[in-house]
Amino acid sequence: MWSAVVSGLAGMRRMVAGRMHHPPPISFSSGMSEFVVITGLSGAGRSLAADAIEDLGWFVIDNLPPQLVPKVAELAQAPGSQVQRIALVVVTGAYQEEVLPMLAWLRSAGARVRILFLDATTDTLVRRYESTRRRHPLSGGGTQEHLVAAIERERELLDPVRAEADVVVDSSELNVHELRRRMQALFSGDGAEPTMQTTVLSFGYKHGLPLDADMVVDCRFLPNPHWVDELRPLTGLDDRVREYVLGQPAAQEFLANLETMLVQLLPAYVAEGKAYLTIALGCTGGRHRSVTIAEEVARLLRKHGMPAGVLHRDIGK
């Protein structure tokens, strides 16, 4: 049945010019279809994210105009369909005004929908476009000035979509393999139990704040192992650094207070329907204090029955 999607979408593209403002009604059976809508800035890694999600067993449709989403949803609900986990890379550009109405329609039909928004800094996007020599979809010219203006224009147009996203991934500092691991952490579950996925992220302030963090906690008040000669080459994953950081009286009091706060906040986020939460812990370089504290925070959350993954953004820098 799904072989008909490819040929069907080719014919359906004729409908896009007509702007299908009134999608057909549809009702999703409980527990059947799960959608991830992948959107974000051009050049931020939407297709790479889709490839990683496809490798996890999702049925992926790339470059899909928002007006064709109802047809895909209809096929997902057709008798005999075996496809229950669908990732849609939605075209923005000229169609950005259609994205939010289509997401609202999909959710109103009873499907479980999660929105993944790929973001990156303007400087990063400029470098990527210059290295690939591709044109930005909103760029009217080939100069860097035109490219920067196009990126900022697209960022402005997509701000409402970003505000609705369940998870924002900043790909500025991620290589292909790191982005793949992030997708695995976010979408490798079977989707049977909708719950909030919590990521504890360590980072270094000198490398910039993480754009995709929901909560940022500063760990720079703790004594820095960087100034201890025998600890400087190590990281917060090494036992000696861990003992040094956690052995500080301020660290134990800090963790106890943070644990109390998170145990109170996380269930409230779940009750509000939040699907993803990123807790970012920062130190100067992102190699010692924040790494140790991030590992400890994740351990404390798991102790309370709250699943938490850990990412160390800057540990290798």
Q: What is the pLDDT of residue 230?
A: 97
**Of 167, 149, 169, 168, which is closest to residue 157 (Cα–Cα)?**
149
At 108, give phi and psi (nearest 5°).
Answer: -65, -25
Instruction: Find the mean pLDDT for residues 109-118.
Output: 85
Q: What is the pLDDT of residue 182?
A: 86
Instruction: Find the mean pLDDT for residues 3-10.
Output: 46
Q: Is residue 9's pLDDT more than 60?
A: no
- Options 3.40.50.300, 3.40.50.720, 3.40.50.1370, 3.40.50.2300; CATH for 31-193 is 3.40.50.300
Q: What is the pLDDT of residue 14?
A: 42
pLDDT tens digits, one per residue of 41-71: 999 999 999 999 998 889 999 888 888 888 8
pLDDT tens digits, one per residue of 167-213: 899 999 888 888 988 888 888 765 545 568 899 999 999 999 998 89
pLDDT tens digits, one per residue of 214-243: 999 999 999 999 999 999 999 999 999 999
Q: CA-to-CA distance for 32 and 30, rounded, in angstroms?
A: 6
Q: Is the pTM of this model over 0.75?
A: no
User: Which are the contacts of 122, defined by CB distance < 8 A and separation ≥ 6?
Assistant: 148, 151, 152, 155
Q: What is the pLDDT of residue 139?
A: 75
Hey, where are the domains in the chain?
A: 31-193, 199-312
Q: Which amino acid is at 297?
A: V
- Helix 96-108 to helix 144-164 angle, to the nearest 10 degrees? 20
Q: What is the pLDDT of residue 111?
A: 73
Confidence of residue 87 (pLDDT cuts 50, 70, 90): very high
Q: What is the pLDDT of residue 94?
A: 60
Greatest mean pLDDT among 1-5, 22-26, 268-272 lies in: 268-272
- What is the full DSSP assignment across the chain? -THHHHHHHHHHGGGGGG---SPPP--PPTT--EEEEEEE-TTSSHHHHHHHHHHTT-EEEEEE-GGGHHHHHHHHTSTT----EEEEEE--GGGHHHHHHHHHHHHHTT-EEEEEEEE--HHHHHHHHHHHTPPPTT-SSSSHHHHHHHHHHHHHHHHHHHHH-SEEEE-TT--HHHHHHHHHHHH-S-SSS---EEEEEEEEGGG---TT-SEEEE-TTSPPGGGSTTTTTS-TTSHHHHHHHHTSHHHHHHHHHHHHHHHHHHHHHHHTT--EEEEEEEESSSSSHHHHHHHHHHHHHHHTT--EEEEETTTT-
pLDDT tens digits, one per residue of 154-170: 999 889 889 989 889 99
pLDDT tens digits, one per residue of 119-146: 999 999 999 988 888 888 887 655 666 8
Confidence of residue 7 (pLDDT cuts 50, 70, 90): very low
- Contact call for residues 77 and 32 (beta carbons, < 8 A): yes
Instruction: Find the mean pLDDT for residues 34-45.
Output: 91
Q: Is residue 287's pLDDT more than 90?
A: yes
